[in-house]
Amino acid sequence: MTRSPLGVLGPEQFLRTYWQRKPLLARAAMPDITGMFATSELIALACRDDVESRLVMRTSGRWQVRTGPFRRRVLTSLPKRGWTLLVQGVDAHLSAARALMPRFGFIPYARQDDLMVSLAPVGGGVGPHFDSYDVFLLQAQGRRRWRLSTQSDLRLVDSAPLKILRRFVPTREISVEPGDLLYLPPRYAHDGVAESDCITCSIGFRAPSRQEICYEFLQWLQDEIHLEGRYADRDLATQRHPAQISSAMIERVESMIGALQWRRSDVARFLGQYLTEPKPQMWFTRPSQPLSLARFTQQVRRSGIKLALKTRMLFDNRSIFINGERVDAPAHARPILMALADTRELMPWPCKADALSRMLHLWYKCGYVDLG
């Protein structure tokens, strides 16, 4: 089982006592994080057009935000203090970052979003703010001073390019060093400032709004429903105002819309596809000279298989989902695919030339999985 980063505090106790309730500071929770990320790696990622990145600066009391991709010389010629480079989705590009995510497996993968890494010199920060989701802040390099607040006043500065709190009243202050882990529940006000050259990892969790979920579900539903019938009004009567939409017409259309129904299985299918859908800037690298099915099966027997860094894979009681697609897997293959989703890799096993190997081979050709 993957070791918990909570130290002596067990996952069950954390979920019962802290999760979405109050902050937790775990000192030296992950000491092996030191040296895991290099400044040059983060700068290289911020220069790529398939990586989301932002540069935050504060000059003369005003916040400025620039979005990537950046030119390398822009990032290597920044001042010695007072800026922050935010690189989103680092777990989809660096193996070391991807390896951190299972350590937080006590939170289901369906809730995990991504790992953002921030790079900052002395004085760097993004201002007092709050997040609408749970977050673990893991210090990877340098020292950072965090100010926390239990305030309920979450009004924002109107003209700022960031979500900066209009009035921030800190009630607690802490300094963190490499390996320290800070958990903050949703809507908990905080402000972090680098006290030395800093690298901080932010492990965020998905918390879509009701509006977003309902909108996405209705978008998904339009491709899934097939309704019979057509609008009809055999009892149509003349109207005094021909341009008026009659109450009778409104009632008929209301009845047509009211007949729209969905089942729990529809919601489950939507959720699996929605939660594994790759982010817009992601694309998968296909092998330039893919192996034949026979050679591929032979290689899996020797070296196993693993999910590509960008791949999202989940399952429910009925289906397997990978990168926004629902998969009908044969019954004998389900335990193997569940293990692949849980651990993201499969050790060498006597893979046969059957429906499972054909499915894995297709994923391999799409860039969803790599040979071990």
Tens of pLDDT, residues 88-102: 999 999 999 999 999
Q: Positive or negative, the Cα torsion across 245, 251, 256, 262?
A: positive
Q: Tell me the per-residue pLDDT of 281-306, one tens digit each, with 9 for 90 and over.
A: 889 999 999 999 999 999 999 999 99
**Do 56 and 164 touch, CB atoms closer than 8 A?**
no
CA proximity to 143, closest of 165, 123, 170, 166: 123
The per-residue pLDDT for 3 is 56
Q: Tell me the per-residue pLDDT of 238-271, one tens digit each, with 9 for 90 and over.
A: 999 999 999 999 999 999 999 889 999 999 999 9
> Across-strand partners of 370?
306
For residue 96, the tally of other CB atoms under 10 A from its CB is 14
The per-residue pLDDT for 202 is 98
Q: In what order do the strands lie in the sheet with 325-327?
A: 313-315, 320-322, 325-327
DSSP H or E segment with residue 315? strand 313-315
The per-residue pLDDT for 151 is 96
- Given a cut of 70, the residues of the chain with pLDDT beneath it are 1-4
The two structure tokens encoding residue 236: 């149509």
DSSP classification of residue 299: H
- Pair type for strands 181-184 and 135-141: antiparallel
CA proximity to 55, closest of 140, 121, 115: 121
The amino acid that residue 330 corresponds to is P
Please, what are the domains in the chain? 11-205 (2.60.120.650), 210-263 (no CATH), 293-371 (3.40.366.30)
**Biggest CA pair distance of the chain:** 81
The per-residue pLDDT for 1 is 40
